[in-house]
A = this chain, B = another copy of it.
Amino acid sequence: MKIQRYKRDGSYSYALGAALTYELLEHAPQSAVKVYVSSATERTPAIVDLLSKCRSLGVPTETNDKAFHILSPKGNCFLICEFRKQEQHIRPGPHVVLVNPSDAGNLGTILRTAAGFGLTDIAVVRPAVDLYDPRTIRASMGAAFHVTVEYFDRIEGYIERFPDNELYAFMLGSSVPIHSVEIASPYSLVFGNEATGLPDEYAQFCRSVVIPHSKEIDSLNLPIAASIAMYEFTKSVWGGGA
């Protein structure tokens, strides 16, 4: 198989680096296709462990410097795992719903926080950035392999599948601060695009809420707002305490 730069419409993607390869083999071994090793890769104990994990999982390894030139031209990566993309289906329960997210780093950061707060089912409404973009995977620090992400063409399709979820739409114009709302179960935390937020009509089928802040800034950035919301809605689960 010829090694190609990542393509959004292709069937494969790449976990760049030993840490992401480890996460992939640990959490989604069935999707691993092959592990590329650079001739510059030092056989540290961690690398030796990883390669032995490949053997025991039946994932072939290949020394191939060309793969690194093509996939990681900056040269700061010594292990690459090629893996098969998989269609995913979220389960009933609390969800995070991202409407038109456009930045790979932001999506990855949100997935990492979501995994941290146990919100492992995430809906993404298109058009949207690609879950399998290697930049998303990297920003997630591997959390992309712990969570389930399902894409929907329209929010209506999501609502039809999960009619029992109470939708909380994060909108700057709302007057309801998130820490004062009653948390329904199951709930969905709904966030809009980085630049444009959610369309006004979301207020018609969602409970609009806001993270109040001063007028010194126009808005919190998307991963920050989403993370604060996930924290506030789940803290009784993780917190103990008050």
Contact surface of A with B, Cβ cutoff 8 Å: 109, 112-113, 115-118, 120, 141, 143, 146, 176-177, 179-180, 211-214, 216-218, 220-221, 223-224, 227-228, 231-232, 235, 238-242
Closest residue on chain B to residue A213 by CB atoms: B116
Given contacts A113-B221, A118-B216, A220-B227, 18 further A-B contacts (CB under 8 A): A109-B221, A112-B217, A115-B217, A116-B214, A116-B216, A116-B217, A117-B213, A120-B216, A141-B218, A176-B241, A177-B240, A180-B240, A180-B242, A223-B223, A223-B224, A224-B227, A231-B231, A231-B232
Contact status B117-A214, CB under 8 Å: yes
**A217 x B141 contact (CB < 8 A):** yes
> In the complex, what's the smallest C-beta–C-beta distance from A225 to chain B, in angstroms?
9
Q: Are B213 and A177 in contact (CB under 8 A)?
A: no
Would A238 and B220 count as touching, CB distance under 8 A? no
A202 to chain B, nearest CB (A): 21
* Interchain CA distance A220-B117 in the complex, whole Å: 10
Contact A179 B242 (CB under 8 A): yes
Q: Give A214's nearest chain B residue, CB to CB.
A: B118
Q: How far is the CA of A179 from the CA of B231 in the complex (A)?
A: 10
Min C-beta distance of A96 to chain B, whole Å? 14
